[in-house]
């Protein structure tokens, strides 16, 4: 059976959906105080957390992550709100085995604020993209996308909520497809 690790920086709602649908070997957070770590504990999922500032450089930080991935023999890394750019060391070790979910319909609105950027641009729809991780920011080969309309009575909160609901539906589907290839 293929082993999954999930990387998250914040609340971990996508991690929770993944962990409720699949056996997750561990969750990693780049913030020691991230809520995702509490979610992991409640779900009985092993967790690790350390921060870039604890290392001499990004290469050393990523080497520690690779050591964890290799120790657990991870087949697929699922980024789920992991807000660090994957550097060359980690990418070279896990390229082709690392996917990301992005809360916009790429290539529209890449980067850290996809939902807010789409909202402020006044677009009639945005969406969700799952893609392979490459050396760019949200530029990897697209695996699956879904559109999410902006409704006339939407607030930023209702729009964001519908995008998150789309994420929770589509991410497990994609993971299942990848694991069964």
Residues with active-site annotation: 102
Output the six-digit token pair for 123: 């677009």
Q: Is 144 within any annotated ligand binding site?
A: no
Q: Please check if 1 is assigned to a binding site.
A: no
21 is in an annotated binding site: no
Q: In sequence order, which residues have a C-beta less than 8 Å from that of residue 71 and are 6 or more positions away? A: none
DSSP-assigned letters across all residues of 49-106: E--GGGSSSHHHHHHHHHHHHHHTT-SEEEESS--SPP-HHHHHHHTTSEEEEESS-T
**Backbone Cα Rg of the chain:** 16
User: 92 with 103: CB under 8 angstroms?
Assistant: no
Has 161 been labeled as part of a binding site? no
Q: In the numeric block, which tokens belong to residue 162? A: 């519908």
133 carries a ligand binding annotation: no
Q: Tell me: is residue 84 an annotated ligand-binding position.
A: yes
Q: Binding site annotation covers 100? A: yes
The number of residues in the chain equals 181
- Residue 2 marked as a ligand binder: no
The binding site consists of 12-14, 58, 83-86, 100
The binding site for (6R)-10-formyltetrahydrofolate consists of 58, 83-86, 100
């Amino acid at each position: 059976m293929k082993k999954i690790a999930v990387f998250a920086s914040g609340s971990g709602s996508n991690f929770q959906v993944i962990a409720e649908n699949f056996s997750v070997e561990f969750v990693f957070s780049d913030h020691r105080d991230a809520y995702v770590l509490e979610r992991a504990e409640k779900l009985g999922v092993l967790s690790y957390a350390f921060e870039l500032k604890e290392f001499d450089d990004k290469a050393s930080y990523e080497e520690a992550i690779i050591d964890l991935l290799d120790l657990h023999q991870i087949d697929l890394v699922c980024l789920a709100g992991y807000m660090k750019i994957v550097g060359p060391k980690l990418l070279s070790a896990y390229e082709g085995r690392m996917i990301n979910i992005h809360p916009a319909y790429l290539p529209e609105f890449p980067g850290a604020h996809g939902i807010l950027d789409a909202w402020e641009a006044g677009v009639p729809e945005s969406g969700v993209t799952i893609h392979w991780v490459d050396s760019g920011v949200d530029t990897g080969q697209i695996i699956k996308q879904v559109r999410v309309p902006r409704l006339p009575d939407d607030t930023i909160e209702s729009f964001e909520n519908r995008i998150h609901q789309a994420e929770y539906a589509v991410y497990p589907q994609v993971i299942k497809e990848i694991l069964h290839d």
